[in-house]
Amino acid sequence: MGRRYESPPVIEALCEFKFDPDSFWDLTIPGLMYEKIQETFPRRNQVAQINAAITGNAEGIIQQFGAIPLMQFLREDGTSLVQVGQNLLTINQLKPYSSWQEFLPLIEKSLQAYKEVVHPKTVSHVALRYINRIEFEHNIELEDYLNFRPFLGKELPQEFSVFVVGVLLPRENTRDSINLQLTTINTDAPNTISLILDINYILTKPKEVELDNLLKWVDTAHKNVEEIFEACITDKLRQIFKEIQA
């Protein structure tokens, strides 16, 4: 078990699965899913996911937009939810995030229900993503708190207010990758700097993971996410998060 904190910075954790487009689908599937998970997720809500596509031809650039219906199944308090669409399953845990030991069973229960209802044959995309919000008072030195941060050579001005830093890290012999990003965001709090540390772990070679091994992949993904998160922060930031001593 990794480190735990009284005030973890996680504002959202999500696990997303996309399945082969040839899987059977009709409008009864969300209802069948609900029957299997309603004890945990009793509330229902229908939304639309907006997809945008840009294509080009001899006449120029064409933008196409489409709305894909999604059904959301939420816990009574709204802190976690399952989203179901055609070839799509997403499990979201919102703030407060307690632990992996509580989030993983939600993923397992939802994935099992989807497999029993839809019977997909292959997976085309899997991602485990953790979005962290970190706030500091002004006039701090980022290197005191973060090992992953913007760097400016000595010949460049050292004062900056807005930045975006990103890197793609191969993992598990290039089967997977981590899209690691650190960005500033606007905040209404005075004298405060607000950052988003986004760790998105992605299966880049889906043919190497079978459906029966998806939970094993998810657990491996979490270990890598946890490792990268801890490598991004310093002990000074751990004090702010109030690390729980074993």
Distances (CA, A) of 57 to 113, 168, 198, 213: 42, 31, 35, 41
Crossing angle of the two packed helices 214-232 and 100-118, in degrees rounded to 10: 150
| Residue 64: inside a domain | yes
| Residue 88: inside a domain | no
How many separate domains does the chain show? 2
Instruction: Please check whether residues 50 and 163 belong to one and the same domain.
Output: no
User: Which among 121, 152, 168 is the end of a domain?
Assistant: 121
Instruction: Please check whether residues 142 and 178 belong to one and the same domain.
Output: yes
Helix ranges, the chain (H):
29-37, 100-118, 214-232, 235-241
How far is it, in rounded angstroms, from Cα 182 to Cα 229?
Answer: 11
Instruction: Please check whether residues 107 and 204 belong to one and the same domain.
Output: no
Instruction: Please check whether residues 10 and 129 belong to one and the same domain.
Output: yes
How far is it, in rounded angstroms, from Cα 159 to Cα 200?
Answer: 29
Instruction: Please check whether residues 14 and 35 belong to one and the same domain.
Output: no
Quote the domain boundaries for residue 226.
1-19+123-246
Instruction: Please check whether residues 130 and 245 belong to one and the same domain.
Output: yes
| Residue 96: inside a domain | no
Provide CB contacts within 8 A for 142, sequence distance 6+. Answer: 149, 150
| Residue 89: inside a domain | no
Angle of CA points 238, 242, 246, to nearest 5°: 95
Tens of pLDDT along the chain (246 residues) come to 578 999 999 999 999 999 988 878 888 999 999 999 999 999 999 887 555 445 455 555 555 545 567 999 999 999 999 999 999 999 999 999 989 999 999 999 999 999 999 999 999 999 999 999 999 887 788 999 999 999 888 888 877 778 999 999 999 999 999 999 999 998 877 788 899 999 999 999 999 999 999 999 999 999 999 999 999 999 999 999 999 887
How far is it, in rounded angstroms, from Cα 97 to Cα 221?
Answer: 17
| Residue 143: inside a domain | yes
Instruction: Please check whether residues 15 and 70 belong to one and the same domain.
Output: no
Structure tokens at 226: 């946890």
| Residue 241: inside a domain | yes
Instruction: Please check whether residues 132 and 111 belong to one and the same domain.
Output: no
Instruction: Please check whether residues 10 and 50 belong to one and the same domain.
Output: no
| Residue 93: inside a domain | no
Instruction: Please check whether residues 159 and 219 belong to one and the same domain.
Output: yes
Provide CB contacts within 8 A for 203, sequence distance 6+. Answer: 123, 125, 126, 127, 175, 176, 209, 217, 221
What's the distance, Cα to Cα, between the start and end of the chain in Å? 10
Instruction: Please check whether residues 109 and 209 belong to one and the same domain.
Output: no
Residue 49 is predicted with a pLDDT of 59
Q: Taking a C-beta distance cutoff of 8 angstroms, is the pair 82, 71 a contact?
A: no
Instruction: Please check whether residues 164 and 238 belong to one and the same domain.
Output: yes
Residue 6 is predicted with a pLDDT of 92
| Residue 92: inside a domain | no
- Closest by alpha carbon to 73, among 82, 85, 65? 82
Whether the upstream peptide bond of residue 96 has omega within 30° of 0, thus cis, is: yes
Prediction pTM value? 0.90
SS3 225: helix
